[in-house]
Amino acid sequence: MTNPPGFQNTTQIGVTEQSNSSGIVLYFHPGTRAVRPRWLLEELGVSYDLVLVNLGEGEHKRRPYLAINPAAKVPALTDGEITLTESLAICMHLADRFQEKNLAPAAGTIDRACYYKWMAYSVGTLEPAILEKIRRQKTESEGGKYVTLSQAMTEFDVAVGVLETALESSQFILGDRFTAVDVMVGSLINWANNMHFIESHQHTLEWLRRLKSRPAYLRATKN
């Protein structure tokens, strides 16, 4: 195995032969949105190459990585002739690429429609709400005047309340079946939990504990 040009640290995951049989390469840095597709790859149980993009040394702003993702952000994924950025797009692609693993509902079903809704919720509603709550705390802690953007976005407690209600009678977001939606939303709720934002949402906390006990999650976050 050789490193891609411009990168120093590549690890083969789940490879039992001399090469990566799936052809998938994930460009990754710990503690970023790149954890989402890595977690999903572990849930899928497929082989892949993991390329560490050293943010501390600015590898994401150098020509080799900019050729992959001009936005200079992780994650990025290559899969044969496909190059994808954005964690949501990558996770949806992977779940469909390995449809036999049952991490995405079949197209044209009611569950698939709900799957689209929750995928959009993850980055369109929940993530902005978390960021806005962080902005408010930072502004107020520094003695500044917080100017609400609530008319332009969903308040954090409302956004999490939607999830809390959905989890009142389900093991996972789409019922008793774990899917890629749980990866996307779960990674964001874990971030919010680290900020002590969800302590009053018992069903959401119990769901998060179930997610974090999954072997695939533990493998994806062990580094």
Per-residue model confidence as pLDDT tens for the chain (223 residues):
556 666 666 676 654 444 556 789 999 999 999 999 999 999 999 999 999 999 999 999 999 999 999 999 999 999 999 999 999 999 999 999 999 999 999 999 999 999 999 999 999 999 999 999 998 788 877 787 777 766 777 899 999 999 999 999 999 999 999 999 999 999 999 999 999 999 999 999 999 999 999 999 999 998 6
Cα separation of 160 and 28, whole Å? Answer: 28
What is the number of domains present in the chain? 2
**Sequence-distant (≥ 6) Cβ neighbours of residue 197 within 8 angstroms:** 130, 133, 156, 160
Which residue, among 23, 176, 25, has the nearest Cα to 102 in the 3D structure? 176
Last residue of a domain, one of 59, 75, 101: 101
Q: Are residues 114 and 36 in the same domain?
A: no
Q: Are residues 94 and 50 in the same domain?
A: yes
Q: pLDDT at position 76, please?
A: 98
Q: pLDDT at position 17, please?
A: 42
Q: pLDDT at position 138, please?
A: 84
Q: pLDDT at position 44, please?
A: 97
Q: Are residues 127 and 201 in the same domain?
A: yes
Residue 168 lies in a domain: yes
Torsion angle defined by CA atoms of residues 45, 14, 218 and 180, in that order, rounded to the nearest 10 degrees: -30
Residue 4 lies in a domain: no
Q: pLDDT at position 18, please?
A: 43
Q: pLDDT at position 147, please?
A: 73
Residue 223 lies in a domain: no
Show the domain range for 44: 10-101
Q: pLDDT at position 82, please?
A: 96
SS3 at position 161: helix
Question: Which residues on adjacent β-strands are paired with residue 167?
Answer: none
Residue 169 lies in a domain: yes
Cα separation of 40 and 25, whole Å? Answer: 13
Q: Are residues 157 and 191 in the same domain?
A: yes
Q: Give the predicted TM-score (pTM) of the model.
A: 0.89
